[in-house]
């Protein structure tokens, strides 16, 4: 009897709230409509790169990633499918976070598991701060004007919808 009562009191509300929790994945971190501040990262050769110099030319998808992140690994098939569909229209950037990670570990991982995206290393957390990244698997999509049109976390993100939003926003801006 107690187990049934506890189930009704605690488990059922969680199950009913699940769609709300899934919707909460979107709009985390940097606010929608924002532009990013300058963020110095390194390419995998150790050269300094300012992400703000890449953003604003065409739509961009940025994922905050780590070799040790199981959610990032689970998100990878969606990232690859999105790249296959939109790679000619959108820059795909992956920012390796500097937590229990180094450029060397990223390079070794990518040698064993090649991926088609542009990789950067955020040694001092500048990109994490600029994008207000709360965790790995955090994705930000920006339109061609450099404005944030989507943010989300987790392995079940609808990257296709996020990229359509970025591409449509850019078309709307050009039509004005």
Domain that holds residue 64: 28-175
- Which two three-digit tokens encode residue 20? 């709300």
SS3 label, residue 150:
strand
| pLDDT at site 146 | 95
Residue 2 lies in a domain: no
Residue 82 lies in a domain: yes
| pLDDT at site 27 | 72
Residue 9 lies in a domain: no
| pLDDT at site 21 | 37
Q: Which residues contact 166 (CB under 8 A, 6 or more apart)?
A: 59, 60, 61, 90, 141, 142, 143, 144, 149, 150
Enter the pTM of the model. Answer: 0.82
| pLDDT at site 64 | 98
Q: Which residues contact 164 (CB under 8 A, 6 or more apart)?
A: none
- Look up the CATH number of the domain holding residue 132: 3.40.30.10
Given the structure tokens 């690859």, which residue do they identify?
80
Per-position pLDDT tens, the chain of length 176: 443 433 333 333 333 333 433 333 567 899 999 999 889 999 999 999 999 999 999 999 999 999 999 999 999 999 999 999 999 999 999 999 999 999 999 999 999 999 999 999 999 999 999 999 999 999 999 999 999 999 999 999 999 999 999 999 655 544 44
Residue 23 lies in a domain: no
How many distinct structural domains can be found in the chain?
1
Residue 49 lies in a domain: yes
What is the distance between the alpha carbons of residues 115 and 42, in angstroms, rounded to a whole number?
Answer: 18
The 3-class SS string of 61-103 reads EEEEECCCCHHHHHHHHHHHHHHHHHCCCCEEEEEEECCCCCH
Residue 13 lies in a domain: no
Q: Which residues contact 85 (CB under 8 A, 6 or more apart)?
A: 160, 163
Given the structure tokens 């059922």, which residue do they identify?
12
Backbone angles phi, psi at 152, to 5 degrees: -170, 170
| Residue 50 parent element (H or E) | strand 48-50
Residue 141 lies in a domain: yes
| pLDDT at site 171 | 56
- Give strand pairing partners of 25: none
Name the DSSP letter for residue 125: S
């Amino acid at each position: 009897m107690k187990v049934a009562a506890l189930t009704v009191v605690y488990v059922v509300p969680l199950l009913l709230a699940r769609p709300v929790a899934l919707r909460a994945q979107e709009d985390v971190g940097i606010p929608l409509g924002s532009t990013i501040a300058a963020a110095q990262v390194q390419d995998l050769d150790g050269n300094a790169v300012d992400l703000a110099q890449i953003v604003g030319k065409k739509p961009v998808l940025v994922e905050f990633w780590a070799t040790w992140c199981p959610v990032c690994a689970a998100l990878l098939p969606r990232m690859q499918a999105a790249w296959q569909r939109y790679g000619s229209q959108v820059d795909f950037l992956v920012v390796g976070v500097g937590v229990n990670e180094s450029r060397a570990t990223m390079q070794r991982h990518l040698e064993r598991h090649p991926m088609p995206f542009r990789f950067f290393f955020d040694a001092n957390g500048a990109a994490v701060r600029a994008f207000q990244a709360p965790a790995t698997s955090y994705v930000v999509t920006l339109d061609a004007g450099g404005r944030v049109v989507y943010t989300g976390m987790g392995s079940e993100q609808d990257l296709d919808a996020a990229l359509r939003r970025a591409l449509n926003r850019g078309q709307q801006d050009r039509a004005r």
